[in-house]
Amino acid sequence: MPFNIILNAVKQPKHQNQRNLNMPFISAISKIDLPFKVTQQETKQQAYEMFSANFPQTERLIFAFDNTEIITRNFCKPLSYYTTPNTFEERNTEYINTTLEYSVQAIEDCVVKAGIKKEDITDLLFVSTTGLATPSMDALIINRLKLNQHVNRSPLFGLGCGGGVSGMAKANTVAKANPDAVVCLVAVELCSLTLIKSDYSKSNFIGSSLFSDGIVAAIVKGDNHGKYQPVQYVASSSKLYYDSLDVMGWDFKDTGFNVLFSKDIPTFIHEHVKEDITEFLDTQGLKLSDIKNFIFHPGGKKVLDAYTNALDLNEQQLCKTRGVMNDYGNMSSATVLYVLERFMSKGYEDGYGLMMAMGPGFSSEMVLLKLTNPTA
């Protein structure tokens, strides 16, 4: 063998070898547009009416609704529902019923898009942090759809906003281990059902300006179902930051889930995100400039501004991410999958795509994809 060929083989970057491995791919994705979509100005008015009598900072903070860049919000119930007194038990029952109805709808649509039968599904991963069910929601879904009784199921709770990317990483890990796998990933977050009407805290008020509801399903297939697909998995990364448990999460009370999040999240992103992405891409022989598609979780305007500044991105590079936030609000784990759906349905640039989200822990989750537009 000529010396220059040997040398090139030694120097070949890691990512160039990825295609020789069993690499799964995202076959299809389906999102739900819920029936009660309302404008941000409508939610602002209702929040003012709900909080003003008992929350002294309402007048000063109400303008937070105008600074989110959110135009419309995705809700599973009409606005009038959230003004009516209810218990945690009642809200959680609504969570179970609504989750089951729309998860089935999303899966059925995704199965058609993926060109498979529901009986082909080998694994079901269910991601959520906004409600509780035992048996878990994946068991309810399998029963309702009459999926194969031997489906491997994995309910993933507590990942919050990071759950969509983490779930996608885990779905691809399953499909990489079993090239015959057909993995169904479902993410459901009904954030509006966690609103506690009697909670007049600042966190609850600010949360009411951001969070919405989302349901999305994706089908990930193993390598034996086809090679060199348009949206192919390359690698993933998960990082937990020590001593940051109080940055984001729930405080569980008798009345339900009290939202906790720190105003320092944008600062945290600015301090860590560039180094974390650089380290991850370096393991794949890539640089930030190799990323052509930024599929990020839009946690809010300040979060997107932090990403933009830390990574020196231009407005166009986050336009689809920002567009999902404008149109839906922050749907926690489901949001980044809505962003991915927008890339897959509206178009992307040939090259690498980076999915990224941060969530309770505090943690960062990343998935590296290779996106290729199908040739005519």
Helix, strand, coil shares of the chain, percent, nearest 5, are 45, 25, 30
Q: Residue 28 is which amino acid?
A: A
Let me know if 161 is a catalytic residue.
yes
The answer to whether 234 and 369 are in contact (CB under 8 A) is: yes
Residue listed under structure tokens 């994706």: 218
Report the C-alpha gap between 263 and 267 in whole angstroms: 8
Q: Listing from the earlier edge strand, what are the strands of the sheet with 351-359? A: 152-157, 123-128, 182-190, 213-221, 25-31, 231-240, 363-371, 351-359, 291-296
Tokens representing 197 are: 């009407």
CB burial of residue 54 (10 Å; 0-12, 13-18, 19+): exposed
Report the C-alpha gap between 347 and 314 in whole angstroms: 18
List phi, psi (to 5°) of 129. -140, 10
Residue from 161, 184, 191, 319 carrying the catalytic annotation: 161
| 3-class SS of residue 356 | strand
Q: What is the DSSP letter of 211?
A: B
DSSP, residue by residue, 138-204: HHHHHHHHT--TT-EEEEEES-GGGHHHHHHHHHHHHHHH-TT-EEEEEEEEEGGGG--TT---HHH
Report the C-alpha gap between 70 and 88 in whole angstroms: 27
Q: Residue 345 is which amino acid?
A: S
What are 29's strand-pairing partners? 218
Report the C-alpha gap between 376 and 363 in whole angstroms: 41
Catalytic residue positions, numbered: 161
